[in-house]
Copies of this chain bind each other. A is one copy, B any other.
Amino acid sequence: MVTITDVARAAGVSPSTVSYVLSGKRTISLETRRRVQQSIRRLGYQPNARARALASSRTHVIALVVPFRVDLNVPVVMQFVAAMVGAARAYDHDLLLLTKDEGSAGLRRVIGSAIADALIVMDVEAAEPRIPVLASLRRPVVLVGVPDQPQGLTCVDLDFVAAGAATVNHLADLGHRRIALLGPSPAVYERGTSYAGRFLRGFTEAVAARGLHAVSHPCVPSYDGVRVSLHQTLDADPSITAIVTHNEAVLGPLLSEVRHRGLDVPRDISVVAVCPDDMAKAQSVALTSLAIPAAELGRLAVDMTMRQLDGPAPAEIRLLSPRLTQRHSTARPRP
């Protein structure tokens, strides 16, 4: 293994000089720098991250708590993670994978034993039990999602309250009066996942504000689940003219089932989906959708983490404004 001392010897300088050439924290004469860089290349020197971490108390690693749940929408989670890895690499950092299974103990472990410098936590619950631990770690933390009591922790998320309202307003503007909301699977609500409740609140408030009528049900993401939900909604109230889905996993089954019932989208029924844009476009009917900007949120989460690593940054709650794109699944209801 090539060490900094080997490089120093080869270049005829001291180890500290090599270190400074690498970090740029000291001005080095052009001549010396050349020689050092040449030796580094010739020897194929790669600084030892462990030694560097020990000496500088910076691991350049961010721990990421990923929700490996089946009931959560997997492709969306993947988009998040992919964006974060990319963003972290751009800052010359790596991501360490943590699961929710390890719970608070896992968070304490990676920070306490200095495996990682900071934490990004996904799948945040409204009554998030990990908050006390997170706050006690005194390390940079970014939550993807907004708990009811953030306790001074930094959060980033889509503004789901505004998102809920946006879907309603779009439909109300088109003239719909009676609409149905198919929400996430019951497990998501039971767990108190933060975004589920916030979306529902925005939805409900807008329904009231616009004087509409609405029903909402959680929805199990399967054909059977969708059949049940449609029974609870369309069958129970045939005057419903529009469906909002806040559950990416039901899109396929829903459209399939609706078509099976002989209904045309959007002629007989309008559909608004809350999902990433690419997903909305890939359906049998290009869906009017409220975008989940997973990539942007992921990048932001990393940015905010880095800012905290650079120095004390004020806690903030960053909510991205929703963006609704009309495609071919919404239209005026038939008279």
Q: Does A300 contact B (CB under 8 A)?
A: no
- Contact indicator B252/A46 (Cβ below 8 Å): no
CB neighbours (8 Å) of A98 from chain B are 85, 94
Q: Does A304 contact B (CB under 8 A)?
A: no
Interface-side segment among A154-162, A203-211, A276-284:
A276-284
CB neighbours (8 Å) of A115 from chain B are 49, 61, 94
State how many residues of chain A have any CB contact under 8 Å with chain B.
50
Q: Does A302 contact B (CB under 8 A)?
A: no
Selected from B50, B53, B78, B259, the residue in CB contact (under 8 A) with A260 is: B259
Considering only residues 104-138 of chain A, those with a C-beta below 8 Å from chain B are 108-110, 112-115
- Contact indicator A86/B109 (Cβ below 8 Å): no
In the bound complex, how far is the Cα of B114 from the Cα of A50, in angstroms?
7
Q: Which residue of B lies closest to A284 (CB)?
A: B223
Q: Does A74 contact B (CB under 8 A)?
A: yes
* Closest beta carbon of chain B to A122's beta carbon, Å: 13
- Contact indicator B97/A46 (Cβ below 8 Å): no
- Contact indicator A256/B284 (Cβ below 8 Å): yes
Q: Does A89 contact B (CB under 8 A)?
A: yes
CB neighbours (8 Å) of A94 from chain B are 96-98, 110, 115
- Contact indicator A68/B46 (Cβ below 8 Å): no
* Closest beta carbon of chain B to A18's beta carbon, Å: 15
CB neighbours (8 Å) of A70 from chain B are 75, 278
Considering only residues 48-99 of chain A, those with a C-beta below 8 Å from chain B are 48-51, 53-54, 59, 61, 64, 68, 70, 74-75, 77-78, 81-82, 85-86, 89, 94-99
> What 5 pairs between A and B have smallest CB-CB spacing?
A256-B256, A68-B82, A223-B284, A46-B112, A252-B252
- Contact indicator B113/A97 (Cβ below 8 Å): no
Most chain-B CB neighbours within 10 Å: which of A48, A77, A78, A260? A78
CB neighbours (8 Å) of A110 from chain B are 94
CB neighbours (8 Å) of A89 from chain B are 99, 102
In the bound complex, how far is the Cα of B109 from the Cα of A253, in angstroms?
44
- Contact indicator A81/B96 (Cβ below 8 Å): no
In the bound complex, how far is the Cα of B175 from the Cα of A241, in angstroms?
47
* Closest beta carbon of chain B to A193's beta carbon, Å: 17
CB neighbours (8 Å) of A252 from chain B are 252-253, 256
Most chain-B CB neighbours within 10 Å: which of A85, A283, A284? A284
User: Could you mark each residue 253-279 of chain A with 1 if its beta carbon is under 8 Å from any beta carbon of chain B, else 0?
Assistant: 101100110000000000000000010
- Contact indicator B109/A85 (Cβ below 8 Å): no
Q: Does A47 contact B (CB under 8 A)?
A: yes
In the bound complex, how far is the Cα of B64 from the Cα of A81, in angstroms?
13
- Contact indicator B113/A46 (Cβ below 8 Å): yes
Q: Does A148 contact B (CB under 8 A)?
A: no
In the bound complex, how far is the Cα of B78 from the Cα of A1, in angstroms?
36
Q: Does A101 contact B (CB under 8 A)?
A: yes
Known: A253-B252, A278-B70. A85 touches B97 (CB 8 A): yes
In the bound complex, how far is the Cα of B278 from the Cα of A75, in angstroms?
17
CB neighbours (8 Å) of A108 from chain B are 46
CB neighbours (8 Å) of A278 from chain B are 70
